[in-house]
Amino acid sequence: MLSLTEENYLKAIYHLSDGGAKSVLTNELAEAMNTKAASVTDMIKKLSAKSVITYEKYYGVNVTAKERMKP
C-alpha cells in the first residue's frame, strides 16, 4: 500500500509524463512538487523498490504499465 505522499508523487509523474508517453526528469518533478531534487531522488528510490515506477539514471522516471492500468 502506498502512502499519500507516494500517491501524490505518482500522480505528478503521470501528469508530467503526458500519461506515460515520456520520461520525467528529477528536476522537473522537484519543481512540480515544490521540493528539492534530493528529496525527489529519495522518493524515486522508494517507489522504484515497490515496482510502481521505472527509473533510469540520467534518463528519468516513468510510471509502470501496471500502475497506469489501475482504476
Q: How confident is the model at residue 66 (pLDDT cuts 50, 70, 90)?
A: low
CATH 1.10.10.10, applies to 4-58: yes
Q: Is 60 helix (H, G, I), strand (E, B) or coil?
A: strand
Residue 9 has a pLDDT of: 96
Residue 64 has a pLDDT of: 79
Contacts of residue 31, Cβ cutoff 8 Å, sequence gap at least 6: none
Residue 29 has a pLDDT of: 96
Domain boundaries, the chain: 4-58
Separation between Cα atoms, residue 14 and residue 9, nearest integer Å: 9
Rounded to 10 degrees, the C-alpha dihedral 10/20/50/36 comes to -50
How far from chain centre, in Å, is Cα 5?
Answer: 11
Summarised one tens digit per residue, pLDDT across range 23-62 is 999 999 999 999 999 999 999 999 999 999 999 888 999 9
Q: 63 forms bridges with which residues in the sheet?
A: 53
